Amino acid sequence: MGLINVNGFPIIRGSIRRPRIGVWNADLVVDCTSDISGAVTIATEDGAFSLAGVAYRMGVFQATLSMKVIGGTGRLSIPPGGIGTSISPKSYQGATARLVVNDILAACGETLAATSDAATLNTVLRRWVVTAGSGKDALARLLEQFQDISWRVLADGTVWIGSETWPSAPTTQFDILERHFGEGRILIGSQQPWLMPGTKITISSSSTAGTQYVDYVVDDISPEKIRSEVYFTRTHVGSA
């Protein structure tokens, strides 16, 4: 078994991109020659790290399977970035944001996360129009009307909407391989991709320690190691 697997098949190499706002996606080469398109789970053997998504582009070459995976059902994005289709336009008057969000997600076969912010979703919109296009664009455009509200596809494939609370990242062993604080990023090595967007972490140097807020993570995977490029927010938003 590899450090990380797809439906139980070891990942030979690959990259997972996990943004704080938007849909996570991955490009993977898997030790497999069969078709595993459709719903997939990217996970460590112990299940401590797990992502639920859809494999939507793949091909076999030299006894390995190359594939693209996108979070959730993959239908918030339209080709080439996903498998969704353009949603139909619809106008609203006196509707809650929750109704509009649920209609967008239903058109894409996605599910709203139970932990989403109720106050935001219960806001009444005097008038709103969803235009034809991708569900991702319709959702982003709606949430631009609210201050400091984020949205992303979570590890379980549901769509979360809310204000960032910046919980502390889990304590685990990792090595800082490179520091580029002027560019707002570090490179770390660990046994699994444990650092999640929307969390905070304390980075210590020889003389100081500072809190950093995780905005974007790119995990590069091989059978023996995982290297994660971690990008921090320049100005963090939310309630932390």
Tokens of 146: 């609210």
Q: Are residues 66 and 33 in the same domain?
A: yes
For 118, the 3-state DSSP assignment is helix
User: Cα–Cα distance between 51 and 152 in angstroms, integer?
Assistant: 13
- Whether 64 is covered by a domain: the verdict is yes
For 91, the 3-state DSSP assignment is strand
- Whether 79 is covered by a domain: the verdict is no
DSSP run (H or E) holding 102: helix 97-107
| pLDDT of 178 | 92
Q: Find where tokens 């969704």 sit.
A: 84
Q: Are residues 118 and 180 in the same domain?
A: no
DSSP assignments along 8-61, one per residue: TEEEEEEEEEEESSB--EEEEEES--S---EEEEEE-TTSSSEEEEEEEEEEEE
| pLDDT of 175 | 87
Buried b (16+ CB within 10 A) or exposed e, 169-206: beeeebeeeeeeeeeebbbbebebbbbbbbbbbebeee
Among residues 71, 100, 122, the one where a domain terminates is 71
DSSP run (H or E) holding 75: none
Q: Are residues 17 and 61 in the same domain?
A: yes
User: Cα–Cα distance between 43 and 17 in angstroms, integer?
Assistant: 15
- Whether 170 is covered by a domain: the verdict is no
| Tally of CB atoms within 10 A around 109 | 15
- Whether 169 is covered by a domain: the verdict is no
Handedness of CA 19, 20, 22, 23 (dihedral sign): positive
User: Do 163 and 150 touch, CB atoms closer than 8 A?
Assistant: yes
| pLDDT of 35 | 84
* Grouped pLDDT means (10 residues each) for the chain, 240 residues: 87 96 97 90 91 93 94 95 95 98 98 97 97 97 95 98 94 85 88 89 69 95 91 77
| pLDDT of 1 | 56
User: Cα–Cα distance between 19 and 150 in angstroms, integer?
Assistant: 11
- Whether 20 is covered by a domain: the verdict is yes
Among residues 162, 196, 214, the one where a domain terminates is 162
Domain count, the chain: 3
Q: Are residues 109 and 153 in the same domain?
A: yes
| CA count, 13 A, side-chain hemisphere, 102 | 10
- Whether 240 is covered by a domain: the verdict is no
Residue ranges making up the domain that contains 57: 5-71
Among residues 162, 186, 205, the one where a domain terminates is 162
**Where does residue 131 fall: left (phi above 0), alpha (psi -120 to 50 degrees), or beta otherwise?**
beta
Amino acid at 154: L
